[in-house]
Structure 1
Amino acid sequence: MSTSPAGTTPSDPLPLPSAPGAKRHPALGLVNTRTMRPSGEFDDLAETAAAGDWLAGVGLLPARTSLDPGSADRLRSLRETVRTLLAAHLDGVLPDAAALAELNAALNAAQFTEELRWDDPAQGPRRESLPSSGTPVDAALTRLARNAVDLLTGREAASIAACGAPGCIRYFLRTHAARQWCSTRCGDRVRAARHYARNRTPGRH
C-alpha cells in the first residue's frame, strides 16, 4: 500500500478536534491523521518524530521513543490500508486485496500472550495482552490492526461514517442517526456556506 501522498505539510496552526469515536478507537484516530485544511492536504505523521509522538500519545509506545524512518513509513502505510477498508465498508464492496493482505500482515507482526493482572485492589483483576515476539513497533502496529478489525466487525461498525462536509476526508462514529459531520467546525462551515448561498444577491459574485 502507498504511504502519504506527496505535498502534505508537516505542520498546521489549526489542529482539528478529535472526531467522535477516535479516542476509543486508535485505528480511527490513525486514519484521521491525514486531513484536508484550507492550506491543502495535511499529514500529522509527515515527520518521523511526529509519527513516534502519535504512537506514544495513544499509549502504543513509551513516551519519547524514537522511530526510524522505515517504521514511520509502516505506520503511514497501515493508515492508508485502514482508510481503504473503511471506504469499502461504507461503499458495500469488497476491499482491495492488497489492503486486506497488509492488514492481516500487521495483525501478525507481533505475537501476544495473555496474563491475568491484579496489582490494584481498587481496579481489581484484569486481562492484559503482552507482546511475546516482535519489536515495540511491531506490537503497536498489531494493536492498531486488531483495533481496526474490532471496529469493522463489532457493534459500532454500523455507526462508521465519512464526514459529509465538502473537502473533508475524516471518518467518525455517528452519535445519532442524523449526524453528518465529524466536528462542529465542519457542520458550521457547511451551514455558513448554505446561508451564504441562500442570501447572496442575484447577479453578484
Structure 2
Amino acid sequence: MPDSPLVLDLALTIRHDGHGGVADDLTDPDGLTVWVRQRLPELGEFTADAGTLAAVRDLRAAVRALFAKAVRPAEPSPADARRLLPESEAVARLNAAAARVPVVPVFDWTGEPASLLRPVAAATPADVLVAELARAAIAFLAGPDRGRLRACHAPRCVRYFLKEHPRQEWCKPSCGNRARVARHHERHRKESL
C-alpha cells in the first residue's frame, strides 16, 4: 500500500486495541513526540508538551468529524459515531490551526525546482506542527483523494482508509476476514433460531 497522507496517519492514531476497545496513541506528550518524530523527521528532535498534545488532539477531533462528513452517505467510523464535533466547529478548528503559522510560498532551485512554504515570522515548533497538520488536512479534504476515503466497518475496526481498488471494502485483509467470520456466525445463529 502506498504511503498514506499525513492527515490520515493523524486520524489513525485512534485505532482498535486488539481487545474489543479503542486505543489512542496520543494519550500523553511522549506518545505525540514518538508519532511526530516517526512521521515528520524534518521537525528534528521535536518534544511535545501538554499544550501541544491538547492542540493536536483538538485538531484530530476536527479531522475525524470532517472525515465522517466526507464518507457520507456511508456511516462514520464507530469510534466517532456518538461524539462528532458539529461541522461548523470542526471547520473553525481546522482553519484556526492552519492560521497558527502564516506562510508564504518560496521558490527554490538549488536542485530540482520546488515550491516551499516558509513561515512569515519565527514560530514555535508546536505551532509549526499544528499548522502543518492542519494544512495537510485542508489539502486532503479539498483534494481528489477525499473521494476515495472510507470508514472501515469490519467488527471492532475504527479506521479510515483510502480505497485503492473498486472491490475494496475494508482497510486491511484481517478486517475482511473478521467481517466474513461475523457474517458466517450471524447467518448460523439465525438458522438455529
- Matched residue, 1:77: 58
Query: How much is the aligned-residue C-alpha RMSD, in angstroms?
Result: 2.4
- Matched residue, 1:163: 152
Going from structure 1 to structure 2, the CA distance change for 1:160 and 1:73 (only over 3 Å counts) comes to same
Going from structure 1 to structure 2, the CA distance change for 1:24 and 1:118 (only over 3 Å counts) comes to farther
Give the Å deviation of 1:149.
1.4
SS at match of 2:157: coil
- Separation (CA, whole Å) in 1 of partners of 2:92 and 2:142: 17
- Matched residue, 1:132: 120
- Matched residue, 1:176: 165
Give the Å deviation of 1:118.
2.9
- Matched residue, 2:110: 119
**Aligned match for 2:10, one of 30, 50, 55:** 30
Give the partner amino acid of 1:172: F
Q: Which runs of 5+ in 2 are unaligned?
A: 74-85
- Matched residue, 2:25: 44
- What TM-score, normalized by structure 2, do the two folds share? 0.81
SS at match of 2:43: coil
Percent identity over paired residues: 32
Please tell me whether the aligned partners of residues 116 and 128 of structure 1 are also in contact (alpha carbons under 8 angstroms): yes
Please tell me whether the aligned partners of residues 60 and 140 of structure 1 are also in contact (alpha carbons under 8 angstroms): no
Matches within 5 A, 1:84-103: 84-91=65-72, 96-103=87-94
Give the Å deviation of 1:70.
0.8
Within the alignment, does 1:187 sit opposite 2:176 as a pair? yes
Going from structure 1 to structure 2, the CA distance change for 1:118 and 1:24 (only over 3 Å counts) comes to farther
Please tell me whether the aligned partners of residues 35 and 42 of structure 1 are also in contact (alpha carbons under 8 angstroms): yes
- What TM-score, normalized by structure 1, do the two folds share? 0.77
Q: Which runs of 5+ in 1 are unaligned?
A: 1-19
